[in-house]
Chains A and B, each alone.
Chain A
């Protein structure tokens, strides 16, 4: 038996071993190969089976994806992992020199002392210590990790970024053919779901004959048809809901009469004032008073009177005030009233805005009529269309007239403390926001509504909105400060909603507004004092000069003599003038006539020679 060699073929893969074993006789090693030839043998012949084709369908077209790009292949290569480790060595004791024993206290102290005496050490320390001191002090000066604004509510920041805006909710049009101006608006006291609008035409004698006298109460949800009609005998210029009783409304009409309605009793007025005792001019404003019975009102008209009424007995006014600034009760001197201001928190005071641009402050409880008028505020150039105290700061009030809106302080009578710029169109009405002390609204003759926020911007309105193309004549804000109605010249009342930012009280708003008013009041006080000083100086100076003059002309106090003197002077001046004219003429003639004279003379000579 020969040795059997076992050849093992081992695969290169490290973990797998594939082994193939074969045997070969030793004697057969190295022998030549014996090849033989034989013909081809057919082993298998598989013919096509057409029935199999039924399992297949022709697909035409075939979608083949082809990419026109270089063919690339992907390979991954990983380098041998380089392992690194971080190691630290912790000092236990400093690198003392070899010859020093760290345990030896004396030696270490000595070493340290030696270093401290080294000049290089001293210089270095001085340098780096300076830098260090600076940084230590810096740390004490400011806390760089201080949290700012951590008290501020996240929400407040979001809100203040919101742009102020207003959107129209509903539009109520005058259903009549002939459109009248919506001169006054009043919100229903409970829930603000109804809006009473007074319609009239304030253009003197220009109202067409078929103009309707009706005013309407609208339900704000239904702009198609008014909920109720009020039928006065003369168009209503102003209209107010009774804040204590939402069924009662009082209206002042164009012919000077006052009437009141009870909405439960129908469209006709429940009672009207008698013509003889009413106003002689349109009643521009009527306001409810604070009283136990809740039936007291007072009205203002351009006839110069302010009348007080009890609606239960409208035959005669309960009280009468003539707006005579000279306090004599003279109706001919009286100022025409166009607006009234009354705050229930200050029942003894009230203010009247006049046609002449003066605001008159009055006291109801005065004993004599003369004392009723306390003082006046001047500054406007035209009728005061709106007059209202700031709901949060009653000492300051807003007036809207001519082309500006002004904010006043009760204490300063010569000038307002703050005012808007002069606009391009007349301002016709305005009011404060009931929820924010720094916000007020004004409307203009060009149909724009301006929302002012004096804490945000004082030179321009915060929001300016064009509501309609015709003039806006009246505006009224709801008690929530969010909705407001404005009436136009063509009787269209628009209900607007303003953005939340403009009707939410901001943080510190009251304090800031109070500060602002105080500051401006102080400024005006200082100016007033200065003006007074200057006036006193002027007066004393002019008195002084008059005294001096008086000494010279002491003898001529007699009127006749003065006249004679004046005549004399006059004729003297005339003579002087005439003389001057003659001289001038002569001069002119001389210049012209020099040549002429010469010629004349020559001729004369010639003639005389001839002769």
Chain B
């Protein structure tokens, strides 16, 4: 596409937020600073902090078992919804979705 990278990112995030059932989208950096969010600040900060730690733990678990391996995706299914965390060394993309009925 002819969009600038900046616009592409915006577009992608908007698209994800637009998927059926998605409640919120958060982008967090390694320090825990929420870069982009569709939820209010306090919720964002809470999700960011908790999921960051959990992701770290999950990653270390995966690497303890096999050092060549690495965590790519984390999915937490709860009664009410599903929290998905897509990770990278520096950034975290968190999406909360209500799965289809």
Which residues of A does B touch, CB under 8 Å? 88, 90-96, 111-112, 115-117, 119-133, 135-137, 139-143, 145
Contacts and interface: CB of A to CB of B under 8 A. Distances in A.
Contacts of A137: 19
Contacts of A145: 77, 99
Interface residues of B, number: 45
A120 B90 contact: yes
Most buried by A among B31, B90, B100: B100
Interface string B28-48: 110111111000000001101
Contacts of B22: 136
A352 to B, nearest CB: 59
Contacts of B82: 139
23 contacts: A95-B32, A111-B33, A116-B6, A116-B36, A124-B88, A124-B90, A126-B9, A127-B88, A129-B16, A132-B84, A132-B86, A132-B93, A133-B12, A133-B15, A133-B16, A133-B19, A136-B16, A136-B19, A136-B21, A136-B84, A136-B97, A137-B19, A140-B20
Contacts of A139: 21, 82, 97, 99-100
A115 B92 CA distance: 13
B9 A135 contact: no
B39 to A, nearest CB: 14
Given A132-B16, A133-B16, A122 B100 contact: no
B68 to A, nearest CB: 20
A122 B6 contact: yes
Interface of B: 5-6, 8-9, 12-13, 15-16, 19-22, 27-29, 31-36, 45-46, 48-50, 52-53, 72-73, 75, 77, 82, 84, 86-88, 90-91, 93, 95, 97, 99-101
B36 A136 contact: no
B13 to A, nearest CB: 7
A128 B91 contact: yes
> Chain B binding site: helix, strand, loop or mixed by DSSP?
mixed
A92 B45 CA distance: 7
Nearest to B81: A139
Q: Which of A111, A117, A120, A121 has the most CB of B within 10 A?
A: A121
A125 B35 CA distance: 11
A131 B72 contact: yes
B15 to A, nearest CB: 7
A405 B21 CA distance: 57
A94 B45 contact: yes
A91 B49 contact: yes
Nearest to B95: A132
A394 to B, nearest CB: 44
A91 B29 CA distance: 13
Contacts of A129: 9, 12-13, 16, 86, 93
Nearest to A125: B9
B9 A95 contact: no
A143 B77 CA distance: 12
Contacts of B46: 90-91
Contacts of B86: 128-129, 131-132, 135
Contacts of B31: 94-96
A126 B100 contact: no
B91 A126 contact: no
B100 A94 contact: no
Given A91-B48, A128-B87, A121 B35 contact: yes
Contact of A143 (B13, B53, B93, B99): B99
Contacts of A90: 46, 49-50
A95 B45 contact: no
A124 B89 CA distance: 9
A94 B50 CA distance: 12
Nearest to B29: A115
B5 to A, nearest CB: 4
A123 B90 CA distance: 12
A130 B48 CA distance: 20
A115 B32 CA distance: 13
B5 A119 contact: yes
Contacts of B12: 125-126, 129-130, 133
A111 B36 CA distance: 11
Given A124-B88, A132-B84, A143 B35 contact: no
A135 B72 CA distance: 12
Nearest to B73: A131
Contacts of B16: 129, 132-133, 136
B34 A94 contact: yes
Contacts of B53: 88
A249 to B, nearest CB: 64
A91 B50 CA distance: 8
A98 to B, nearest CB: 11
User: What 8 A-B pairs have minimum CB-CB distances, sorted nearest first?
Assistant: A91-B49, A95-B31, A94-B33, A128-B86, A94-B32, A139-B99, A122-B5, A132-B86
Contacts of B33: 94-96, 111-112, 115
B93 A91 contact: no
A112 B19 contact: no
Contacts of B20: 140
A341 B40 CA distance: 80
Contact of B35 (A116, A126, A130): A116
A110 to B, nearest CB: 12
A91 B87 contact: no
Given A116-B9, A128-B93, A135 B75 contact: yes
Contact of A124 (B19, B36, B91): B91
Contact of A141 (B29, B97, B100): B100
A94 B12 CA distance: 24
Given A126-B8, A140-B19, A135 B84 contact: yes
A96 B75 CA distance: 27
Given A93-B45, A119-B5, A129-B16, 10 more contacts: A91-B45, A94-B28, A94-B33, A120-B90, A123-B5, A126-B12, A127-B88, A130-B12, A140-B99, A143-B101
A135 B100 contact: no
